[in-house]
Amino acid sequence: MNILQRLFEAQLTIAGQPILWREVVGNAFGFASAIGGMRRRVWAWPVGIVGNALLFTVFFGVAFSNPQGETLYGQAGRQVFFIITSIYGWWRWSQLRRARAAGDSHVPAITPRWATARERIGYLAVWLVGVVVAQQVFYAIGAGFPAPRWYFWCDAWIFVGSMVATYAMARGWNDFWLAWIGVDLVGVPLLVHSHFYPSAVLYAVYGGLVIYGFFVWLRASSVETPVARATSEVSA
């Protein structure tokens, strides 16, 4: 147990700032999951779940000591919902891939498409209402330090937007990349402000990957056959 505890608490120092190794490793898993998602591989989901579990322990500082001395409830809470949504995405992509692949391991799990107008209105409404509710909840709980009100709005935006983006990815909507861009635009400054530098760096790098991935999925949604797309909706 002492060895496990030392691994759990291991740190490195970057520019005089102590950083938990599990923050670095958790983000590495997250980045690998993003690449798998861009390639539409089922393994992206379990890999992402491992990263989410590690990052939960980083951001939920009130229970798991972190060198920043801060708890980001939105960041911590979204890891829990990431895991829940990822289980759904893992199941759905596995089902769709079996329906499409016919034994070919190189066939992507899904054929991406744009959300319909009704679907888009639905997730945007959930996002906006969710942010209003979440920021009030986070404000009532408190941040564990004197935080300005904008802090809770930002944390709520990231929390709800991440849920929307992950669900949209599970559904195979091109929109999920755009949702992630919206999350990153707020997430990077907030993480830098809170001294979670590895996560901030990953978000910044991830922003470039998101833009590239958007065009990869956009092209796939245009060139892959309507038959493949119809098959991908069997378990919708």
Write out pLDDT tens, residues 42-63: 999 999 999 999 888 887 765 5
How many domains are there within the chain? 1
Q: Is 28 exposed, middle or buried (0-12, 13-18, 19+ CB in 10 A)?
A: middle
pLDDT (0 to 100) of residue 227: 45
Q: Average pLDDT of the chain?
A: 81
Write out pLDDT tens, residues 86-122: 899 999 888 877 766 555 556 677 889 999 999 999 9
The H-assigned helical ranges of the chain are 2-9, 21-38, 44-59, 73-101, 117-141, 149-171, 175-193, 197-223, 226-232
Mean pLDDT of 158-182: 91
Write out pLDDT tens, residues 9-36: 676 666 666 777 888 888 889 889 989 9
Residue 20 DSSP symbol: E
Cα gap 157→116, rounded to integer Å = 23
Q: Is the pLDDT of residue 195 over 80?
A: no
φ, ψ of residue 40 to 5 degrees: the values are 60, 45
Mean pLDDT of 142-153: 79
Domain limits for position 64: 2-232
Mean pLDDT of 192-215: 82
Q: Is the pLDDT of residue 2 over 80?
A: no
Per-position DSSP letters for 169-228, written without gaps between them? HHHTBTHHHHHHHHHHHHHHHHHHHTT-HHHHHHHHHHHHHHHHHHHHHHHHHHHS-HHH
What tokens does 59 get? 């951001």
Q: Is the pLDDT of residue 225 over 60?
A: no
Q: Is the pLDDT of residue 233 over 60?
A: no
